[in-house]
Amino acid sequence: MFNINKTLSLIKGGLLSPQETWKNYLEEKHSWKETAMFLTLPLIVVSTILSGAFAYIFDVPRGLGAIIIQIITSLIGIGIASFIFSYLAGMFEGKHTFSKGFAALSLAAIPGSIGSLVSTLPMVGMIISLGLSILGLVYLYKIIPSYLLVPQGKRVIHFILSLLSTILLVGGFSVLFGLGGASAHISSDKTNSTPSSMFGDIGRQLELMENANNDNYTPPDNRKVSQTQIEAFLAILKKTNAYKKTHAESMQVSMEGQIKDKENVSISDLMTMASGMGSAMSAVNAEMEVVKSAGKNWAEHTWIKEQLRIASIHKDLNDAVKHNYALYKKHAEALTLYGYIP
């Protein structure tokens, strides 16, 4: 049941005495539904509505539809982030507990929510909002060990991979469903902080995804992959393989080599880690980037990949599958070498 006193206490404590507030809330052992009722839902709804009201006052109205969409994407975004952070915690020898991950993300979102309220203020609004968003990232980094028990030596890599995966999935969700602006607490819309400035070329990568998803391709009636197509497909995979290695090395250097004190990460450290996320995202998104930067059609590329996958499973289902399977077998060694897994 909603408790206004509990909500106000958590918001106040989350800003002024975060460590004590986190410790006490953890000891209370709330379910994710209770956290949503006590904190997440009121925090997102109220901050978004008030932010929209302030925007109207300062002559940058968003409209009711935009406010509703932002509330929906914020709730979805924090849910996705909670799953990712808790799931990856289990992979890095921590605890995969969604309720605790949801609580950690919700508590860490408090500064960013407050920041969204002042983002439309003339002159200083964006600066304050950006500062509070960065503070939220610092809080999130600090709260993870106590809530998800990620070992100290794996905190940095867990944090970056979780944050990166969240940005990719929330951004992809927004592109897929045509929703503007992911969560102000996870990745802000244009009226808040700018992801491209905070995370290198992440904004460019999301634009790349949107452009690629707009590609169209009409397959041949016989559903057969041509020799020319598979040669082009192999060339893309070869370049992608090399591209991933380069950016993976860059990511590792940025995340580990430049941060000395992994226990007491600073805002400067967070910005250092953020600077490596562009390379990390490029590595994850490498195949799409190689296709689009070469002026190729992403829809055609994915169609070829799907036909090869079907052929590797069914082999002789029909003439098209037989033809595609023969191509697959002919180039199996090169496909494997370049990391293709059907």
* Phi-psi map region of 94: left, alpha, beta (phi>0 left; psi -120 to 50 alpha): beta
Q: What are the structure tokens assigned to 242, written together?
A: 């090399």
SS3 261: coil
Q: What's the pLDDT score for residue 23?
A: 93
Q: What's the pLDDT score for residue 168?
A: 75
Q: What's the pLDDT score for residue 300?
A: 92
Q: What's the pLDDT score for residue 184?
A: 36
**Percent of the chain residues topping a pLDDT of 90:** 15
Confidence (pTM) = 0.53
Q: What's the pLDDT score for residue 176?
A: 52
- More confident: 65 or 27: 27
Average pLDDT over residues 45-72: 72
Half-sphere exposure of 10 (CA within 13 A, CB side): 29
Average pLDDT over residues 61-88: 79
Q: Which of 54, 39, 76, 64 is nearest to 184 (CA)?
A: 76
- More confident: 214 or 9: 9
Q: What's the pLDDT score for residue 180?
A: 44
Domains of the chain: which residue ranges? 4-193, 214-337
Range of lowest pLDDT (50-54, 133-137, 244-248, 286-290): 244-248
**Percent of the chain residues topping a pLDDT of 70:** 70
Mind listing the pLDDT tens digit for each residue in 101-146? 999 999 999 988 888 777 767 667 778 878 888 888 889 988 998 9
Mean pLDDT, the chain, integer: 76
Mind listing the pLDDT tens digit for each residue in 265-283? 444 554 455 555 555 555 5
Backbone φ, ψ for residue 200 (5° rounding): 60, -120
Q: What's the pLDDT score for residue 1?
A: 61
**In whole angstroms, how far apart are CA 324 and each of 35, 63, 233, 291, 305?**
52, 51, 13, 21, 11
